[in-house]
Amino acid sequence: TVLLFKVPADTNLGQMKKVIEEQVAKTEHAMPKLPVEMLVNTIAGGNIELKVMAWVESIYAEPNFKSELMTGLVQQMNEMGVKIG
pLDDT at 62: 94
Report how far apart, in Å, the C-alpha atoms of 53 and of each of 4, 40, 69 are: 9, 11, 12
pLDDT in tens, 8-44: 999 999 999 999 999 999 998 999 889 999 999 999 9
Closest listed residue to residue 54, CA positions, set 74, 72, 38, 70: 38
Indicate whether 83 pLDDT > 90.
no
Measured CA to CA, the distance from residue 49 to residue 57 in angstroms comes to: 26
Question: Sign of dihedral through CA atoms 13, 15, 21, 24?
Answer: negative
pLDDT at 66: 94
pLDDT at 35: 94
